């Protein structure tokens, strides 16, 4: 089987093909404000975006910001979000981070990574999603799809999402981080499925070491 070029050499063509295949890829969580996106992102841990949107379509009309969420309290909020997994822990986390927002930022969501990650329960991935989608600040969140597809494409090899994000940010230009994130998610959902990726019909097959192993396909050099 002919050898594939290095990941740096393959990357521009991978970016081009992803942009062609998914020109409208975007954040699938529904939100109107940075605070709503922060809430939706916390709710989305181990839960589908569709289910989160179902819950937030009922919840958001009752929330005007962090103060109203704190006033709702953990017990009532847990009832409101009980259709997402881990709803009690998420209710506690949302009340804590809303209290932090009021105490530290006058109830506003900060457009700053360090400040976001200092909020209760907010990690690198949540901060990246909020920075990228609420403030259009380049950030590259690694969820299960981004992790799986980037590894199969041979663009990353790290064991953790955080280290994978660092590897990808090393090689992908910052202007492409946001679109690349959404396009990899779209590709993971539509083609590069976890259990049985549709390599035979995948536009990235000639550039993908894992796909070539699965199909013994010739490479683009």
Binding site for ligand SF4 (CB under 6 A): 149, 152-153, 191-192, 197-199, 202, 204-205, 208, 210-211
Compare residues 42 and 149 and give the one whose CB is closer to ligand SF4.
149
Smallest distance, ligand SF4 to C-beta of residue 106, A: 45
| Catalytic residue selected from 112, 143, 159, 175 | 143
Please state, in angstroms and as integers, the Cα–Cα distance from residue 23 to each residue in 63, 213, 214, following that order.
33, 28, 27
Q: How far is the CB of 17 from ligand SF4 (least distance, A)?
A: 10
The residue of the chain with the least Cβ separation from ligand SF4 equals: 211
Instruction: Give the whole-angstrom CA distance, residue 151 versus residue 135.
Output: 28
**Residue 175 annotated among the catalytic residues of the structure:** no
Question: Could you tell me the smallest distance in angstroms from the CB atom of residue 137 to ligand SF4?
Answer: 28
Is 125 annotated as catalytic?
Answer: yes
Q: Cβ closer to ligand SF4: 42 or 204? A: 204
* Contact by Cβ (8 Å): 205, 199: yes
Residue located via tokens 């939706």: 40
The string of DSSP codes covering 57-123 is HHHGGG-SSHHHHHHHHHHHHHHHTTTSTTHHHHHHHHHHHHHHHHHHHTTPPPS-HHHHHTSTT--
Residue 36 or 167 having the CB closest to ligand SF4? 167
Catalytic site residues?
A: 125, 143
């Amino acid at each position: 089987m002919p050898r594939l070029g290095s990941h740096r050499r393959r990357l521009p063509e991978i970016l081009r093909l992803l942009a062609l295949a998914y020109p409208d890829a975007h954040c699938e969580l529904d939100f109107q404000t940075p605070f709503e996106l922060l809430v939706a992102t916390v709710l989305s841990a181990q839960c589908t975006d569709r289910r989160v949107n179902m819950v937030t379509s009922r919840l958001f009309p009752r929330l005007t910001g962090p103060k109203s969420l704190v006033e709702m309290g953990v017990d009532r909020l847990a009832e409101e979000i009980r259709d997402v997994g881990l709803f009690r822990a998420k209710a506690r986390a949302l009340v804590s981070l809303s209290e932090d927002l009021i105490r530290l930022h006058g109830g506003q969501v900060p457009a700053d990574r360090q400040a976001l990650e200092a909020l209760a329960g907010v990690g690198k991935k949540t901060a990246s999603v909020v920075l990228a989608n609420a403030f259009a600040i380049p950030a590259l969140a690694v969820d299960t799809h981004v992790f799986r597809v980037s590894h199969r494409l041979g663009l990353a090899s790290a064991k953790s999402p955080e280290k994978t994000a660092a590897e990808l940010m090393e090689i992908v230009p910052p202007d492409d981080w946001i679109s690349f994130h959404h396009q990899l998610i779209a590709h993971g959902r539509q083609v590069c499925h976890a259990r049985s990726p549709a390599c035979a019909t995948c536009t990235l097959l000639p550039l993908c070491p894992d796909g070539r192993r699965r199909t013994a396909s010739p490479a683009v050099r």
